[in-house]
Structure 1
Amino acid sequence: MNFVDITVELFIGFLLLFLMTKILGKTSINQVTPFEFISALVLGELVGNAIYDEDIGFGYILFAVFVWGLLMYIAEMLELKFLKLRGFLEGNPSIVIRNGIVDRNELKKNKMSINQLQTLLRQKDVFSVHEVEYALLEANGTLSVLKKSLYATTTQQDLDMHPRPSYLPVTFIIDGEPLIDNLKATGFDENWLQDELKKINQNSVKEIFFAEWQQDEGLHVVPMKEATAFKES
């Protein structure tokens, strides 16, 4: 193998990987889930083997990247269509701090120690567990934190106001499908959800792109029409 062949194959590999990144979307860069991490490793290994193995030509690079990229694309499309498969491939967030209390069972389930939790909290400018009302370990390994109202950026303590409880928003609808488990966990059912939608002139769950509920604010709804109009604009 000479330098010209290496240069050409590197250039082809670079273009193919760049193309795959564009096709699969920006979320595969910013929010790397375990499935996407493994997929990226395999794709890089395929291209690397094709470049440095003298017995493998350009056809192998094209075929291997095409097939693997196609499988990843199909998986992405299935995730968008089926909510259960989305949770299986991407994983679901885990509530590791609930109502200000660290959930040891969730930490063990996610193979996380209290020291690792403290490190992730400090990366969110939280230096005490006592300041946290809710903390969610996302599927990509990052931590989302909802501080107690007393420790918010502009604190009620500074304004000499009595602290109010903080509530975690709960998603009820995604892509026209109700999340039954979330409804049951908050003490509601599909009939209640349907009644709430009728109050805002929405006749069907299928017409809703996204809906979330928060105890102190009620139901927030984004209809399919609004979401589509926003994308088109």
Structure 2
Amino acid sequence: MYIIMLRTIILYFLVVLIMRIMGKRQIGQLQPFELVITIMISELASLPMQDPRIPLIHGIIPIVTLLFLEIVLSLLQLKSEKARTVLCGEPTLLINKGKIDISALKSQRVNINDLMEELRLKDYFNVEDIEYAILETSGQISLIPKTHLTNATKQDLSLKVKQESVPVTIILDGKVNIANIKYLNKDAQWLMKELKKNNINSPKDVFLGLIDSKGQFYYQKYTK
């Protein structure tokens, strides 16, 4: 009895330590590979607790191995956009310019009732009020409402506003995303001009560069 209690206490604190090392994401924000590792760790920890015949080390070694695997995969998806796409997937536009993308709903297996529920939970009740709805890789849905509805004062004062769009990343971790530049109908010369305007010699000096929702070039350089 006391042995089982001791094994349970050891495994409990080990799993808590592992979870702390893995980071502070909530369950709903975990990427698929993180969720799989979390479930596997909980299963591996429960086996030595239930069966004293299983050596404690046989539970600790797989758990530590999974922690190492999670750290390696996290670093890989931070450094490589291709790895990030494979491991985490890509965001999907469910509502594009005020219209529901039916093919996107089918491919992501999201029914219209779930989509409408997400809108209501974020205090929007009409699809026509939403310019973009984005299914993030974590499974959550982000909303970009029509600009004239974001603040009542803009519409009430009859201010002319430009519709905001989805931000597009063009430099990430020093690497240029050629596909996104083409999506913006720009080229490499345009990018170099933008960098020179901001006294940047090379894309390698930029940690994050994007065209924000207002069409402006936003960047953050590496900190020394």
TM (normalized to structure 2)?
0.93
Letter paired with 2:198: I
Of residues 164, 168, 171 in structure 2, which corresponds to 1:170?
168
Deviates more, 1:150-159 or 1:186-195: 150-159
Q: Quick check: 1:134 aligned with 2:138?
A: no
Asked if the contact 2:130/2:144 (under 8 Å) is kept, the reply is yes
Cross-structure match for 2:94: 96
Cross-structure match for 1:20: 18
Cross-structure match for 2:178: 180
CA distance in 1, matches of 2:101, 2:176: 27
Letter paired with 1:198: K
CA distance in 2, matches of 1:29, 1:117: 20
Measure how far apart 1:54 and its partner are. Answer: 2.5
CA distance in 1, matches of 2:81, 2:123: 33
Report the CA distance shift for 1:176/1:215 in structure 2 as closer, same or farther (over 3 A): same
Q: Which runs of 5+ in 1 are unaligned?
A: 229-233
Asked if the contact 1:131/1:147 (under 8 Å) is kept, the reply is yes
Q: Which runs of 5+ in 2 are unaligned?
A: none
Letter paired with 2:64: F
Equivalences, count: 224
Cross-structure match for 2:109: 111
Asked if the contact 1:149/1:155 (under 8 Å) is kept, the reply is no
Measure how far apart 1:155 and its partner are. Answer: 4.3
Q: Quick check: 1:144 aligned with 2:138?
A: no
Letter paired with 2:119: L
Secondary structure (helix, strand or coil) at the match of 1:157 reads helix
| Poorly superposed stretches of 4+, deviation over 3 Å | 27-30, 214-217
Greater RCO (CA < 8 Å, at least 6 residues apart): 2
Over the matched positions of the two proteins, sequence identity in percent amounts to: 32
> What are the Cα deviations for residues 53-76 of structure 1, in whole angstroms up to 9, with x where unaligned?
232122112212111111111111
> What are the Cα deviations for residues 3-24 of structure 1, in whole angstroms up to 9, with x where unaligned?
x122212211221111112222
Asked if the contact 1:209/1:223 (under 8 Å) is kept, the reply is yes
CA distance in 2, matches of 1:150, 1:164: 9
Of residues 57, 79, 82 in structure 1, which corresponds to 2:80?
82
Deviates more, 1:186-195 or 1:123-132: 186-195
Q: Quick check: 1:220 aligned with 2:218?
A: yes
Q: CA RMSD in A?
A: 1.7
CA distance in 2, matches of 1:78, 1:206: 18
1:192-211 matches, within 5 Å, as: 192-211=190-209
Of residues 2, 5, 8 in structure 1, which corresponds to 2:6?
8
Measure how far apart 1:154 and its partner are. Answer: 3.7
> What are the Cα deviations for residues 190-217 of structure 1, in whole angstroms up to 9, with x where unaligned?
2321221011110100100111113744
CA distance in 2, matches of 1:85, 1:163: 38
CA distance in 2, matches of 1:99, 1:125: 19
Asked if the contact 1:157/1:163 (under 8 Å) is kept, the reply is no
Letter paired with 2:105: L
> What are the Cα deviations for residues 82-117 of structure 1, in whole angstroms up to 9, with x where unaligned?
111012111111111111111111111101111111
CA distance in 2, matches of 1:177, 1:23: 28
Secondary structure (helix, strand or coil) at the match of 2:171 reads strand
Letter paired with 2:156: D
TM (normalized to structure 1)?
0.89
